[in-house]
Chain A
Amino acid sequence: MTLSGRFVALLALGVLPIILIDSVTPGSAALVLAGWVLLAVVLAGIDLATAASPRSVTVARDLPARVRLGESVAAELYLTNGGTRRLRGVVRDAWQPSAGASVTRSRIDIPAGERRRVTVVLTPFRRGERRVETVTVRSFGWLGLAARQASLVAPGRIRALPPFTARKHLPSRLARLRELDGRTAVMLRGQGTEFDSLREYVRGDDVRSIDWRATARQGVSGAAPQRLMVRTWRPERDRRVVVVVDSARTAAARIENEPRIDTAFEASLLLGALASHAGDRVDFVAWDRRVRGRVQGAAGAELLSRMVDSMAVIEPELIEADWAGVPALVRGITNRHALVVLLTSIDAPGASGALLAMLPQLTRRHTVLVASVTDPATLAAVSDRDDLEAVYRAAAAERALLDVARVSAAMRRLGGEVVTGAPADLPPALADRYIALKAAGRL
């Protein structure tokens, strides 16, 4: 039960009769007060008695299962009035704040036995499962003085997927991939390519790729003008790419207000999209001390949708990563040579000890690429030397850069590749390195 502003106003209106009647017949003010309060209470009681029961409402939802972070989606709520009275009131759909519901309270007017739809636009501002547990119905009586209220159990959830803003880099990288491939006029032959097919020469093809033996064979069959045959090449296909995202405590650190893990997701999504276009098999694992998310054996559009789906619910765990388990993890995914991409953070040598100790086991069998986000603020701090405090800060920043350089050098000595970049730059940088490795035939 609750009261409305109208009831408060009605009660406050009692000031007028108290003063007026008292000025006509002095001494009756207390009586008028009692009468007015009684009147208000009785009216509110009548209102309560005439209000439709909120408990007779049946709630159902029609929710899209997923929404990309930053996009909006309409969540529909169906309310069926199963009672015998018309239900007038307000309904609150109790979404989590991070679900970004446009309105949380809506007016409703449902005749007895009918159903009405309430549409709420959701714009989640945090990744992961966004939930709603209850719907609260407040049913007013005829006068709108008092209301009955009940919270009904109506659970629902919507999965907010990573935004994948790095997909804007995809077209340019795909174009570079096609340059590798034989589909564009510029055809490269060399390491990392394999023989694809023979076709007729067209103007613009590299004359060095003319296959004279095939041309001669063509010439035997008829008297038509001699047709030149060229060989086409395509990059290696069906290579394995294993993306391991570190979801341990360092992934929670924010750089430019974006957690490292989100940058890692962006980078792995771009890499996944690119590699699956290039015909490679991509497997994705999020790991700290155990597997937090895994996508295996998917390709094409399904790969991306499964990746974002599993990424949506992964949050950094505040524990230390167990790097010793990663070689076994990779071995469990593939026995063949693969490109293993470790998306982690390169910090002080002390903190990266376990990663460095594990690295040789991976580099022995695979091509290993370690990708890490660097903080642009560190670079900015290096060049700020205005006062003593800034100089100390610059010294600390230089020290941090030196640490990163030392760890990176150690990784290169152990046979790994290192890619670093600011949050916005890391995904395209990783994609570029993948293309470079592919062109070099190192997959």
Chain B
Amino acid sequence: MTLTDFSTSSTQATPEADPGTASVTPTVRQAARRGVFWVVLGIIAVGFVIVTALVRGDGGAAGIPLAADSPGLAGSKAVVEVLRDSGVDVVPVGSLEAARDIAGDSTNVTLFFSDPGGYLEADQLDAVVDLAVDTVVADPDFATLQAASAGAVSAGGKPDDDTAAAACSVPAAERAGTATLGQKSLAVDAATADWTGCFASGDDSWAMLQQQADGSTLSLLADGSQLRNDTIAAEGNAALALSLLGQHSTLIWYQPTLADVVGGAAPTLGELSPDWVTPVVVLLALVVVAAAVWQGRRFGSLVVENLPVTVHAGETREGRARLYARTSSRLRAADALRIGTIGRLAARLGLARTASVDEIVGAAASVTGLRLADVRDTLVDARPESDRALVDLSGRLVDLERAVTAATEVGAAGSPASAPPSTERMGS
């Protein structure tokens, strides 16, 4: 029962090195050894993910459309690389400020502009168009068209044909010959006729528009799909792209980012709050983690307790009562009550166990002075046809029992009927 006997009353133990009682908690080394499989598995999984990412690249990812460094289908890395190989200095920029810095006053600059995110305001768009002599705008949205180019409007709708011939006097288009049309097209407002339309995609709608004024050129590509990696090699797309973008020694590849968004007038919450807020929040998060460790560390393993079965003996009785109630077994219930009452009446009236019902009815009637027919009706004849009749009958049985008790127990009236005597107490 006990591990050791304690004959010594001294609290001084033997000073020699004691290995201690065996422990069920693994040591750090054991835990490490046990966990090594999972650690290795985790490393392998992470390595696999990294290798896969490196091998596949993010070619499948959508990325930003027409991004200069995106090798995806919608990117434009192909044309940019070709331009670089041809000696053009391609500079991808993400903000108007940067674009302006590089463009400077130089006239030997081409600006490629595409704003699928719609970051720029109208006045910024105005500035963009004025940055360089040659400007190529791909996929212009409504705001861009409004700000940059009077007269050019979106024609909407997918062209009927996939490709079209240049059919215009723009040199770059003529050199390309044919080009794909993409998903959108542009039209020209009749009032301003200084636009040249190329690659007609329908009546009065084109995939490309060009405007020349004051020695500067503004080219609009309806959706810029001619520059995308997946379609650059189709038809004369490549020739068109290189002709448009390779005019000058420098190409600014400008796609606006969040940096271009003009801040609101009201300072943000981050600007208003002091510097220490973020570190304090981080610290409080660490405190929560530490508190979780403090409270969550279990003080040894849980203890198993086998609980006993709990069966209440009254369950069968309750179940039987509900069965009677559900099936409306009124007569059966009434008979059960009558049998109990008759048994107690027989004992109370001093009749033998073998006494017949008629004898008991007669004795009960004579003792209580009730009419024989009434007593017989209560104890034998009445058939309860409704729930109310059953409750009434039950009440009459109780009354009869009480009356017999009162009549047979001289001087002690009343009490026993409320507690029918046990049929089975000590009697043999």
Contacts and interface: CB of A to CB of B under 8 A. Distances in A.
> Which of B13, B280, B420 has most chain A Cβ within 10 Å?
B13
Given A385-B395, A389-B321, A115 B283 contact: no
A354 interface: no
A152 B22 contact: yes
A135 B274 CA distance: 50
A10 to B, nearest CB: 9
A293 interface: no
B17 interface: yes
B17 A153 contact: no
Contact of B423 (A56, A152, A401): A401
B422 A379 contact: yes
Interface stretch (A61-69, A176-184, A210-218): A61-69
Contacts of B17: 82
A27 to B, nearest CB: 6
Given A18-B280, A392-B324, A253 B390 contact: no
Interface in A393-437: 393-402, 404-405, 408, 412, 417-421, 429, 432-433
B336 A399 contact: yes
Contacts, number: 271
Contacts of B316: 400
A252 B279 contact: no
B17 to A, nearest CB: 7
Contacts of B420: 379, 382-383
A320 interface: no
A29 interface: yes
Interface size class of A (residues with CB under 8 A): 35 or more
Interface in A106-163: 113-117, 126, 132-136, 138, 149-157
B286 A377 contact: no
B334 interface: yes
Interface stretch (B34-42, B72-80, B173-181, B297-305): B297-305
B311 interface: yes
Interface size class of B (residues with CB under 8 A): 35 or more
B86 interface: no
A136 B303 CA distance: 12
Contacts of B390: 388, 391
A136 B300 contact: yes
Contacts of A138: 299
Given A3-B297, A113-B13, A393 B317 contact: yes
A395 B301 contact: no
A11 interface: yes
A82 B20 contact: yes
Interface in B127-168: none
A184 B36 CA distance: 83
A65 B293 CA distance: 39
Contacts of B318: 393, 396
Contact of B12 (A23, A114, A393): A114
A377 B398 CA distance: 18
A197 B269 CA distance: 110
Contacts of A399: 320, 336
15 contacts: A2-B293, A3-B293, A8-B294, A29-B275, A59-B3, A60-B3, A114-B13, A133-B303, A134-B24, A136-B300, A151-B23, A152-B22, A385-B398, A395-B337, A402-B343
Interface of A: 2-5, 7-8, 11-12, 14-15, 18-19, 22-23, 26-27, 29-30, 32-33, 36-37, 53-63, 65, 78, 80-83, 90, 92, 94-98, 105, 113-117, 126, 132-136, 138, 149-157, 252-255, 259-260, 315-316, 318, 374-375, 377-379, 381-383, 385, 387-389, 391-402, 404-405, 408, 412, 417-421, 429, 432-433
